[in-house]
Amino acid sequence: MAAASSGAARRGAAGLARAVRAFCGGRNSSGRAAAAAAAEEKGAVRAEQLAERLRARRREEKQREAPGAPAQRRVRELALLSSGLQRLHPNVLAKMLKQAAVYQDEEIVVINKPYGLPVHGGPGIKNCITDVLPILAKMLENMKAEPLHLCHRLDKETTGVMVLARSREAADRIRLLFKTRQVEKIYWAISVGEPEPSEGIVDIPIVEKEVVGHQPHYKRTLAPSYRLCPEDGKVVRIRRNRSAESAVTRYRLLGSSAACSLLELQPITGVKHQIRVHLAYGLGCPILGDHKYSHWSKLAPQKLPQITLKRLKLEQSKARYLPLHLHAHRLSLPLGQRLDLVCKPPPFFHKTLRSLELDFPKD
């Protein structure tokens, strides 16, 4: 009898313990759930606040950039054009050059070379004018047409008149005209700064040198034949650099505004980067968008005057995207009778002239 009542007591105590644990556990579980819900709500509020701050910051940046946004967008798009040309199928590129043809006869084809398209191939270059000349010849004539031939070169960033020959004989004859300086070449350029005097001839040889420093690289520079004697200030002739090439450029100021100038240039010789080097280092007026020759000792974007940035609606940090404003406007070829070949500047050249309030020359 006593044993039975003792067992009943133990069972009652065990049941009470289970009930207490269940009650306490339930209360703890609901507490943890409430705490988790509160933390989740707090985290959601914090994330929403951060998102709102980010949206507000983006709105401020857009408002700050709004005045110059369209111009800066156009400049960036133009900078991407060069890489875009490298992704084109050769047939598409040839069709584009066909549309850029401004003159044709039985001997030559003249195209208005687009910005950012290299003439020759090289490391990292998938598309160039030379590679699509066979395709272009077939598009212009027929499937049996002989590939077109280059007669001269233009820099990748230079736009304008480019002459192609339909036969090797015609190409050799035109190359000889260039070599013997019988071809009259007229370029237009927008420069940073105004040359003094406003008209003249730069006759200084050019040589390629290595720039030693933090960013070693090669650049073309001037190799003068004369220097000023520090003792008496007299001009004395110095020993000519054997690697230097004779370079002569005639220039004329057409207009100036907003710390920039519109120049007409006539290279008498045909040295690589001649106009760019003569303007930058000879006259102290680098071409707008010429980031290579705006500095000597470093590779950096061109530094522009504040008034120029304001007129272009551009920030200095975006100046690196500015294209080279150098255009081969006219070539005069003595093929029997003298043939004048003219190409209009690209749209970005026109827009820059309008932004700088420079008067476009009337032919």
Q: Which residues are catalytic?
A: 155
Interatomic CA distance for residues 208 and 221, integer angstroms? 6
Exposure pattern of 272-301 as b/e (b: 16+ CB <10 Å)?
A: ebbbbbbbbbbbebbbbbbbbbbbeeeeeb
Ramachandran sector of residue 342 (left: φ over 0; alpha: ψ -120 to 50; beta: rest)? beta
Interatomic CA distance for residues 206 and 122, integer angstroms? 24
Interatomic CA distance for residues 289 and 113, integer angstroms? 18
What is the rounded radius of gyration, in angstroms, for the C-alpha atoms of the chain?
35
Q: Please, which residues bridge with residue 192 across strands? A: 260
Q: Which two tokens stand for residue 180?
A: 């013997």
Asked whether the bond before 147 is cis by omega within 30 degrees of 0, the reply is no
- At 68, the amino acid letter reads G
Q: Which two tokens stand for residue 44?
A: 């959601």
CB-count exposure of residue 38 (10 Å: 0-12, 13-18, 19+): exposed
Q: Which two tokens stand for residue 235?
A: 């001009």
